[in-house]
Amino acid sequence: MKLVLGSSSPYRRELLSRLHLPFEAYSPDIDEARLPEESPTALVRRLAEQKARAVASRFPNHLIIGSDQVAAVGDTIITKPNNAAHAVEQLQFLSGKTVLFHTGLCLLNAQTSHLQLDNIVFEVGFRVLDDASIQRYLAKEPAYNCVGAFKSEAYGIALTTHMRGDDPTALIGLPLICLTEMLRAEGISIP
């Protein structure tokens, strides 16, 4: 079956290309607002599934991949800052804290309606960041389109005290270890 990545993220496209499987990317148009009292796990699982289902209507004979990510400190959810001012605010808030990055992953077989859904959590400890450190980081890595303005695979690594999790690609936005298991369950051969 053909694969479709339900995402406009260049990071997810790059990650999926690592599997050397042909795929198309199509951006789903969904409302990503958090529901009242929705947990980070419930939020990313819901959005990953909604993205896959939104794309499935256009690609009814494909395997559809949906994914979404948020960072959480307790009940506070952090998303993409989208601009410099919010990036500074987010990094000031994350300073000295341990943050859980939740990545929801959905694989939907649009032909059979078989759905696989998971949430992969990755823990990141941020060192104490002063304003000068934040400004230096953002000048070199303006990660405004990354959750928490944090790009772990690049200069963002300098902001951390530790990172813990089973799949480092989950932190970038598409957990490939979990995805390869889901694809195998759908009969896709991956070494």
User: Which residues does the annotation mark as catalytic?
Assistant: 68
Q: Are 146 and 91 in contact (CB under 8 A)?
A: no
Q: How many residues does the chain have?
A: 191
Q: Are 32 and 68 in contact (CB under 8 A)?
A: yes
Q: What is the largest CA-CA distance in the chain?
A: 53
Phi, psi of 128 (to 5 degrees): -70, 125
| Helix intervals (H) in the chain | 10-17, 40-56, 84-94, 131-140, 168-172, 176-185
Closest CA to 125 of 98, 147, 100, 148: 98
User: What is the C-alpha to C-alpha distance for residues 122 and 165, in angstroms, rounded to an integer?
Assistant: 5
CA dihedral 73, 169, 154, 130 (to 10 degrees): 10
Within 10 angstroms of residue 97's Cβ, the number of other Cβ atoms is: 15
